[in-house]
């Protein structure tokens, strides 16, 4: 069944009114009809099954016929602190990260970033990519996208279990960190991934001073966008959140 | 140091002659000079450190100054049986799969594939993407790309530990399979990933009759290209091949 994140005020008791993009999608792209069912999500964690009863140009009305708590959210809340990357790579990270189960994205600018801060148009595009990925993959909550931070601001804001992927780290492997205390059972997890050129030692030192642990992903050199997803998969797999 | 896979006959004892694409890359793209060092790979598992001594248009000569066995290949050999996907998704799988450590790719056509068999131009493009990813990620062996098979041919050719990702599988999770016998210690691993529309039950039944085990990746619905990479990461992580 098709899923749509909507503003919570579109649902009033058991009546629903949809306008804007969801109405356009339902009428012109999916060509649904009265009596068809959809799932609405108001980002509270609840899922509302709705039967469409009236359709007019730009407005769809329906009624809630069932309500249940979503079961697809990982129990561990992963925040991906991702350095700005070239456009298609950053969008790739957002899309795949949402599918896999990331809860929050914090874009940041670090010394070796070669990409400028996104403007409002790009941010709107990013939010759209995230929402589509959340709807398509069956998420019950829409992951958050924070404003672009500096690297230091990002480090300062990371509390609890936090790692930074560093290609020059030789001793501490991801699995040793994920399987040992205190990370093993942490309900939240922060992952820092650098830009294409990686982190300079001074940034790694600053991160360490904030309690963020540099770890290695092994022998092969992964591109920035591959590394981020690999860590997210490994973490969710370790916590039995990926089958 | 820049790495290049080359035909083994380009190395004769300690002398090396490079032409074609590697020579072009070195001269015009990387703008290396005599006395610069490169790593050559002849797909034997050995890595040759070479000092460039002569450069002329289209021909580079140098001498081997060191030779060592590559250490970047995973000990578990993963074969990714991947249904044909739309162009950019299939290329994405090849690129990321090579970076992560896949040994062999077997493209196949199944019932719900909507993409036609690739022509020679596309196969050449795929091989180029794989080679670049292998060089960039530091692989010591160039992963193999098999000819496109039918789904049944692909199933018939899969020996040993084999799984198929199925979104309708409810009971058997990936981690249960990866952590239990006989898969736990298998030196080879075959992973079947369907096309955008997934596998119909009849195909899953055929795979099962060949000993291929359908497994689930959990609660969220992953796109075909995300699912393949998630399984590869989980498998390599489980075997301590990803840090």
Handedness of CA A141, A147, A148, A152 (dihedral sign): negative
| pLDDT digits 0-9 by tens, A66-92 | 999 999 999 999 999 999 999 899 999
Q: Does B77 touch chain A (CB under 8 A)?
A: no
| pLDDT digits 0-9 by tens, B93-113 | 999 999 999 999 999 999 999
Mutate to test the interface with A, among B138, B230, B231 (most CBs of A within 10 A): B230
Torsion, CA A115, CA A119, CA A124, CA A128, rounded to 10 = -10
| pLDDT digits 0-9 by tens, B20-43 | 999 999 999 999 999 999 999 999
Residues of B in contact with A174 (CB under 8 A): 237, 242-243
| pLDDT digits 0-9 by tens, A197-239 | 999 999 999 999 999 999 999 889 999 999 999 999 999 999 9
Find out whether A193 and A82 touch, Cβ atoms under 8 Å: yes
- The minimal CB distance from A240 to the residues B137, B175, B233 is found for B175
- Residue B222: how many other CB atoms lie within 10 Å: 24
Output Rg (C-alpha) for chain A, integer angstroms: 20
CA proximity to B174, closest of B158, B187, B192: B192
Q: List the single residue in A with minimal CA-CA distance to B172.
A: A243
**pLDDT > 90: percent of chain B:** 93
Q: How far is A58 from chain B (nearest CA, A)?
A: 29
**Cβ pair B229:A233 closer than 8 A:** yes
Q: Does B107 touch chain A (CB under 8 A)?
A: no
Helix axes B224-238, B87-100, angle to 10 degrees: 10
- The span from the CA of A29 to the CA of A2, in Å, is 12
CB within 8 A of B21, min separation 6: which ones? none
Q: Does B240 touch chain A (CB under 8 A)?
A: yes
φ/ψ region of A61 (left if φ > 0, alpha if ψ in -120 to 50, else beta) reads beta
| pLDDT digits 0-9 by tens, A117-127 | 999 999 999 99
Q: What's the pLDDT score for residue B212?
A: 97
**Cβ pair B139:A71 closer than 8 A:** no
CA proximity to A103, closest of A39, A171, A45, A154: A45
CA proximity to B104, closest of B86, B77, B132, B74: B77
Burial of A74 (0-12, 13-18, 19+ CB in 10 A): buried
**Cβ pair B238:A242 closer than 8 A:** no
Q: List the single residue in B with minimal CA-CA distance to A167.
A: B243
Q: What's the pLDDT score for residue A171?
A: 80
Q: How far is CA B130 from the centre of its chain?
A: 7
Rounded to 5 degrees, what are φ and ψ at A184? -45, -45
Per-residue confidence band for A170, with pLDDT thresholds at 50, 70 and 90:
confident
- The span from the CA of B33 to the CA of B16, in Å, is 15
Residues of A in contact with B135 (CB under 8 A): none
Q: What's the pLDDT score for residue A182?
A: 86
Find out whether B51 and B37 touch, Cβ atoms under 8 Å: yes
Per-residue confidence band for B168, with pLDDT thresholds at 50, 70 and 90:
confident
Find out whether A169 and A227 touch, Cβ atoms under 8 Å: no
């Amino acid at each position: 069944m098709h899923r749509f994140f909507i503003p919570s005020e579109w649902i009033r008791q058991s009546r629903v009114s949809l306008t804007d993009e969801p109405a356009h999608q339902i009428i012109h792209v999916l060509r649904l009809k009265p009596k068809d069912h959809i799932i609405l999500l108001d980002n509270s964690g609840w899922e509302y099954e709705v039967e469409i009863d009236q359709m007019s140009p730009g407005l769809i009305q329906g009624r809630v016929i069932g309500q249940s708590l979503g079961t697809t959210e990982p129990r561990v809340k992963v925040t991906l602190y991702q350095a700005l990357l070239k456009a298609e790579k950053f969008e790739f990270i957002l899309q795949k990260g949402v599918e896999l189960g990331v809860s929050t994205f914090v874009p940041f600018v670090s010394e070796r970033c070669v990409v400028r801060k996104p403007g409002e148009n790009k941010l709107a595009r990013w939010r759209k990519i995230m929402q589509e990925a959340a709807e398509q993959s069956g998420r019950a909550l829409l992951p958050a996208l924070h404003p672009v931070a500096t690297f230091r601001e990002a480090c300062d804001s990371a509390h609890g279990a936090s790692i930074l992927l560093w290609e020059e780290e030789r001793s501490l492997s991801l699995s040793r960190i994920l399987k040992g205390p205190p990370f093993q059972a942490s309900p939240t997890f922060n992952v820092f991934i650098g830009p294409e050129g990686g982190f300079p030692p001074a940034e790694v030192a600053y991160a360490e001073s904030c309690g963020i642990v540099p770890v290695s992903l092994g022998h092969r050199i992964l591109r920035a966008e591959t590394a981020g997803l690999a860590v997210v998969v490994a973490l969710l797999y370790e916590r039995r959140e990926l089958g």
